[in-house]
A and B are shown apart, each in its own frame.
Chain A
Amino acid sequence: MSIKAEEISALIKQQLANYQDEISVEETGTVTYVGDGIARAHGLENALAGELLEFDSGVYGMVQNLESNDVGIVVLGDFTKITEGDTVKRTGRIMEVPVGDAMIGRVVNSLGQPVDGKGEIKTDKTRPIERKAPGVMERKSVFQPLQTGMKAIDSLVPIGRGQRELIIGDRKTGKTTVGIDTIINQKGQDMICIYVAIGQKESTVRSQVETLRKYGAMDYTIVVTAGPSEPAPLLYIAPYAGAAMGEEFMFNGKHVLIIYDDLSKQADAYRELSLILRRPPGREAYPGDIFYTHSRLLERAAKLSDDLGGGSMTAMPIVETKAGDISAYIPTNVISITDGQIFLDSDSFYSGVRPAIDAGTSVSRVGGDAQIKAMKKVAGTLRLDLASYHELESFAQFGSDLDAVTQAKLNRGARTVEVLKQPLHSPLPVEKQVLILYALTHGYLDDIKLDDIAKFESDLFDFFDASHADLLETIAKTGDLPDNDKMEAAVAEFAKTFQPADDDKSEPVANK
């Protein structure tokens, strides 16, 4: 490589021309206390709440408390190098993170710095992490569907683009899996996904990233991670940083899905730093503004009006409950903020119903408007079917003779539960979901043995892919069911030829 001296000096000259010789004026304070991720400083009389400060060691901090004699600062980084008596400077800026297309496919920390070892992120755009959510006139009602690829969700609790849908459940009930599967299903859906891992084990995050990469989902995903070994302030700001990254795309007319995994850990981190900052504790020792912490975050999810480009940001916060108690403080708060919740039940998870969605307590308050017509038609009675099944199920255990209507209900219910089961990381396109639910609600599954339903489903899909791809395409394109006779005929044709698994051939088909 030849060095061209003239070019280089021309470049330097240009930069030097822009350099202005002026006296730097900085306001400073003196650190009087440091520990557990927070610091207090005297001075800094003009500091603003939320302002970024710089310590001697180069670490940044954010002003959290403005008190009569001193300022409470959360330290965003290594606080062990800060000592009493250090000076701390005002920067006049507020906390910002880098945003833009260059972030896609990367794993970053709460400050937007890469942690995946793939080098620097080349973007010159930044956004403040705290921003007021879009107002009334900047919004529009949710009307486009967000397909999660999970039959149980898309049929029972449909989600719209711009909605906030909570995923809630005990530990180990597949909450993260619902999120990850939803991201995987966004392939080719013109969506940008942001997965914010708050206080998740680094090893877990690593394996989630690998899963996403394996299914090609990292091409449109940003992972923001704040591990459990990071100081509490970084866990606290992680979701805001993720939201800022998402807003950049939303305001450019794109569609964004953001998953906060999980907000209970963020609440714990905020509780920790609030207590150390000596804010008065409230219920469950959370500070008084814990509700506002979550409401202002989730309010930033929006469907923008056409004037603003019609972009959207769908938020799927995750909250962990203890022993199924959804009336604890944080779960009730977040339930009341969001537009619905998907409740995952540990009992059904362990009995093999996965995803373990509890149809009774899961709701979606706005997603119904976003559901495609075909799905509305086939899934209309599903919730009722399931409810009456669960009601009769316990009653039927007494083993008394049942009339034919009850038998039929039980029969249909068991098949509905079976159809809504779905393996890990295998999202289904919406037209296939409609197809299998069509077969279910039109009674084609009533004579199939429970064990054969999975086979029936996959064979049905193969059959349609091979001989009736046009029908599937019609559903996908128009969003409505194709001509009823054609659909009926095609499903009936398949049902006639369906062969149950080999070892069951000798047994009767309907095993009740």
Chain B
Amino acid sequence: MSLDKVTVAKRYSKALFELLQSNGQLDADYEDLKQLRKVFQDNPQLGSALTDNSLALAKREALVKPLLDSTEGTIHNLVRMVYDYGRMDAMVEIIDQFQKLYDEHNQTVYADVTTAVALDDKQLDAIKSGYAKRVGAKQVVLTSKVDTSIIGGVIIKSAGTIFDGSIKTKIRRLRQTLLV
């Protein structure tokens, strides 16, 4: 049974992370990796084109060349190796998994904040520091969103957990209590 992309990505990213960490290049190469991911995300067919046999070998080589030329050091080697092993279609997942490890290392947490009205910077900072304290992270990166249907309060979504303090949910729960 062939391995699924996530399993593959976990293996590559772990190796990459440990290598970069021992070389002390984590922060510098993380930026490069983000750029690399952007290339693959902007060209969704690139990954599969470099993996399967729909293109002739020469053409594939030509496609992968600019990627190799524009990278150096460990990232260059990564692209070379992933290409050689025919895992280019998992590149985005590899970098995603790498980011997870990187965030864990830096204790960074990403969260989506939904509110009924737009928040100012002061309020966002308050949520940031409050949330950071709650989950024990050093840094919180928020993406805020406005949704008037929640009436009031805040919903924070982060890493498979929802902290729901919206008026909409409270009303729904109140209704359930009264109906029982």
What is the minimal beta-carbon distance from A66 to any residue of chain B, in angstroms? 15
A68:B7 contact, CB within 8 angstroms: yes
What is the minimal beta-carbon distance from B172 to any residue of chain A, in angstroms? 10
A239 at the interface (CB under 8 A from B): no
Residues on B with beta carbons closer than 8 Å to the beta carbon of A510: none
A12:B178 contact, CB within 8 angstroms: yes
Instruction: Give which listed residue, B6, B160, B170, contacts A27 with CB less than 8 A.
Output: B160
Q: What is the CA–CA distance of A24 and B162 in the complex, to the nearest angstrom?
A: 8
B163:A23 contact, CB within 8 angstroms: yes
Instruction: Give which listed residue, A24, A44, A68, contacts B173 with CB less than 8 A.
Output: A24
B44 at the interface (CB under 8 A from A): no
B169 at the interface (CB under 8 A from A): yes
Residues on A with beta carbons closer than 8 Å to the beta carbon of B174: 16, 19
A15 touching B160 in the complex, CB below 8 Å, given contacts A21-B170, A24-B173, A69-B4 = no
Instruction: Give which listed residue, B4, B161, B170, B173, contacts A26 with CB less than 8 A.
Output: B161
As a 0/1 sequence over residues 75 to 108 of chain A, the CB contacts with chain B under 8 angstroms (1 = contact) are 0000000000000010000000000000000000
Q: What is the CA–CA distance of A28 and B159 in the complex, to the nearest angstrom?
A: 9
As a 0/1 sequence over residues 152 to 180 of chain B, the CB contacts with chain A under 8 angstroms (1 = contact) are 00000100111111000110011001100
A29 at the interface (CB under 8 A from B): yes
A69:B7 contact, CB within 8 angstroms: yes
**Most interface-central of A16, A18, A23, A29 (chain B CB within 10 A):** A23
Residues on A with beta carbons closer than 8 Å to the beta carbon of B178: 12, 15-16
A28 touching B4 in the complex, CB below 8 Å, given contacts A15-B177, A19-B177 = no
Q: What is the CA–CA distance of A89 and B170 in the complex, to the nearest angstrom?
A: 17
A25 at the interface (CB under 8 A from B): yes
A28 touching B7 in the complex, CB below 8 Å, given contacts A12-B178, A15-B178, A21-B170 = no
Q: What is the CA–CA distance of A89 and B163 in the complex, to the nearest angstrom?
A: 12
Residues on B with beta carbons closer than 8 Å to the beta carbon of A324: none
Q: What is the CA–CA distance of A44 and B161 in the complex, to the nearest angstrom?
A: 9
Contact residues, B135-165 vs A (CB, 8 A)? 157, 160-165
Residues on A with beta carbons closer than 8 Å to the beta carbon of B165: 23-24
A26:B6 contact, CB within 8 angstroms: no
As a 0/1 sequence over residues 16 to 47 of chain B, the CB contacts with chain A under 8 angstroms (1 = contact) are 00000000000000000000000000000000
Q: What is the CA–CA distance of A68 and B165 in the complex, to the nearest angstrom?
A: 32
Q: What is the CA–CA distance of A18 and B177 in the complex, to the nearest angstrom?
A: 9
A43 at the interface (CB under 8 A from B): yes
Residues on B with beta carbons closer than 8 Å to the beta carbon of A12: 178
A452 at the interface (CB under 8 A from B): no
- Give the contact-size bracket for chain A: 10 to 19
Q: What is the CA–CA distance of A24 and B174 in the complex, to the nearest angstrom?
A: 13
Residues on A with beta carbons closer than 8 Å to the beta carbon of B173: 19, 24
Q: What is the CA–CA distance of A44 and B159 in the complex, to the nearest angstrom?
A: 10
What is the minimal beta-carbon distance from B168 to any residue of chain A, in angstroms? 11
A45 touching B160 in the complex, CB below 8 Å, given contacts A19-B177, A69-B6, A69-B7 = yes
B160:A23 contact, CB within 8 angstroms: no
Instruction: Give which listed residue, B4, B6, B160, B162, contacts A44 with CB less than 8 A.
Output: B160
Residues on A with beta carbons closer than 8 Å to the beta carbon of B177: 15-16, 18-19
What is the minimal beta-carbon distance from B175 to any residue of chain A, in angstroms? 10
Residues on A with beta carbons closer than 8 Å to the beta carbon of B161: 25-28
What is the minimal beta-carbon distance from B22 to any residue of chain A, in angstroms? 25
Q: What is the CA–CA distance of A271 and B162 in the complex, to the nearest angstrom?
A: 35
Residues on B with beta carbons closer than 8 Å to the beta carbon of A28: 157, 160-162
Residues on B with beta carbons closer than 8 Å to the beta carbon of A43: 160
**Most interface-central of B161, B170, B178 (chain A CB within 10 A):** B161
Q: What is the CA–CA distance of A29 and B157 in the complex, to the nearest angstrom?
A: 11
What is the minimal beta-carbon distance from A56 to any residue of chain B, in angstroms? 12
A24 touching B169 in the complex, CB below 8 Å, given contacts A15-B177, A15-B178, A19-B177 = yes
Contact residues, B70-123 vs A (CB, 8 A)? none
Instruction: Give which listed residue, A18, A21, A24, A29, contacts B160 with CB less than 8 A.
Output: A29
Q: What is the CA–CA distance of A21 and B164 in the complex, to the nearest angstrom?
A: 11
Residues on B with beta carbons closer than 8 Å to the beta carbon of A18: 177
Q: What is the CA–CA distance of A21 and B173 in the complex, to the nearest angstrom?
A: 10
Q: What is the CA–CA distance of A68 and B3 in the complex, to the nearest angstrom?
A: 12
As a 0/1 sequence over residues 331 to 374 of chain A, the CB contacts with chain B under 8 angstroms (1 = contact) are 00000000000000000000000000000000000000000000
Q: What is the CA–CA distance of A437 and B82 in the complex, to the nearest angstrom?
A: 83
Q: What is the CA–CA distance of A12 and B175 in the complex, to the nearest angstrom?
A: 11
Closest A residue by C-beta to B160: A43
As a 0/1 sequence over residues 477 to 497 of chain A, the CB contacts with chain B under 8 angstroms (1 = contact) are 000000000000000000000
What is the minimal beta-carbon distance from B71 to any residue of chain A, in angstroms? 28
As a 0/1 sequence over residues 1 to 40 of chain A, the CB contacts with chain B under 8 angstroms (1 = contact) are 0000000000010011011010111111100000000000
Residues on A with beta carbons closer than 8 Å to the beta carbon of B169: 24
Residues on A with beta carbons closer than 8 Å to the beta carbon of B4: 69
Contact residues, A147-203 vs B (CB, 8 A)? none
What is the minimal beta-carbon distance from B116 to any residue of chain A, in angstroms? 16
A25:B160 contact, CB within 8 angstroms: no
Q: What is the CA–CA distance of A43 and B163 in the complex, to the nearest angstrom?
A: 16
Q: What is the CA–CA distance of A154 and B12 in the complex, to the nearest angstrom?
A: 68
Q: What is the CA–CA distance of A69 and B160 in the complex, to the nearest angstrom?
A: 13
Closest B residue by C-beta to A11: B178
As a 0/1 sequence over residues 41 to 78 of chain A, the CB contacts with chain B under 8 angstroms (1 = contact) are 00111000000000000000000000011000000000
A-B contact pairs, 30 of them (CB 8 A): A15-B178, A16-B174, A16-B177, A16-B178, A18-B177, A19-B177, A23-B165, A24-B162, A24-B163, A24-B164, A24-B173, A25-B161, A25-B162, A25-B164, A26-B161, A26-B162, A26-B164, A27-B161, A27-B162, A28-B157, A28-B160, A28-B162, A29-B160, A43-B160, A44-B160, A45-B160, A69-B6, A69-B7, A69-B10, A89-B162
Chain A residues proximal to chain B, CB less than 8 Å: 12, 15-16, 18-19, 21, 23-29, 43-45, 68-69, 89
7 further contact pairs, Cβ within 8 A, besides A28-B161, A45-B160 = A23-B164, A24-B169, A25-B161, A25-B162, A26-B162, A27-B160, A89-B162
Task: Give 9 closest A-B pairs by Cβ, nearest first.
Answer: A43-B160, A23-B165, A69-B6, A24-B164, A26-B162, A19-B177, A27-B161, A25-B163, A28-B160
